[in-house]
Homo-oligomer: A and B are copies of this chain.
């Protein structure tokens, strides 16, 4: 690749540095400690800004608490087989209180849902009237 792959905070364009700083402030860390995902996004500062704005808005505690949101994030990342996201959001979930026992149950639900998803599809099960949308 002819382009820089990961961009460190010190080498970033001003627009990207500003996002590094916001992320760091939100997490109470130094901007140089922000994780690799954002160093990759820093190649395109407008996209980096867009994704950080989405992340902030969506992951804030609301009707669902912060840990539940991280568990859902991990469930999706495992189903999509995204190694990076499993690693980063798994760490985030543990920081927010996921115990090893909770992780075991999370994996069990994710595994079973993946199994029954395929069974429902393979058996071509029609949706029950009770579950139909109006």
Contact = CB atoms under 8 A, between A and B. Distances in A.
Interface of A: 1-3, 5-6, 35-37, 39-41, 43-44, 46-47, 50-51, 54-55, 57-59, 62-64, 68-69, 71-91, 94, 99-128, 130-134
22 contacts: A2-B94, A36-B126, A36-B128, A46-B57, A54-B54, A55-B116, A58-B112, A62-B101, A63-B102, A63-B105, A72-B113, A75-B76, A80-B81, A80-B114, A85-B113, A86-B124, A87-B124, A107-B119, A107-B122, A107-B123, A110-B119, A114-B117
B120 A47 contact: no
A130 to B, nearest CB: 7
From A5, A41, A109, name the one whose CB has the most chain B CB atoms within 10 angstroms.
A109
State the copy count for this chain: 6
Describe A's contact surface by its main secondary structure: helix
Given A51-B119, A76-B113, A84-B120, 20 more contacts: A2-B94, A36-B125, A36-B126, A40-B119, A40-B125, A41-B119, A43-B100, A44-B107, A55-B112, A64-B102, A71-B72, A72-B106, A80-B117, A81-B81, A86-B122, A88-B128, A90-B131, A110-B118, A110-B119, A110-B122
A106 B73 CA distance: 10
Given A78-B118, A116-B37, A123-B107, A71 B73 contact: no
